[in-house]
Amino acid sequence: MRVPGQKPWFAVVGCIPKEKIGIQEGGMAEVLNLKDDPKAVKARLDEKKAYPAYHMNKQHWYTIVLDERLEDEEILRLVGISFETVRA
């Protein structure tokens, strides 16, 4: 997903092997990559709410698994933060 009228990405949705983000149980995962301030990214990783970004800069991006771990409202809030981070 890109900011309308601009080139930067603010979110990337995909389906990847779980092992690509460090989940050892095998199988595929529907994921969402989002961008944020490096301190916020680190906090999400420390809280175990996210994984290091798949196929993106791991300092500014993180990956969440779309598997009911996070409430829809929280996911939408994080998408909004990513959008504003890129748009600024």
**Rounded to whole angstroms, how far apart are CA atoms 26 and 19?**
6
The answer to whether 35 and 82 have CB atoms below 8 angstroms apart is yes
Task: Say if CB 36 and CB 85 are below 8 A apart.
Answer: yes
11-33 pLDDT, tens per residue? Answer: 999 999 999 999 998 899 999 99
- 72 CB-side CA count, 13 A: 0
Tell me what pLDDT residue 2 has.
83
Give CATH for domain 11-87: 3.90.1150.30
Q: What is the pTM of this model?
A: 0.91
pLDDT at 78 (0 to 100): 97
The beta-carbon contacts of 59-63 under 8 Å, at least 24 apart in sequence, are 60/35, 60/36, 61/33, 61/34, 61/35, 61/36, 62/33, 62/34, 62/36, 63/21, 63/31, 63/32, 63/33, 63/34
The pLDDT-based confidence of 68 (bands split at 50, 70, 90) is confident
Average pLDDT over residues 63-72: 94
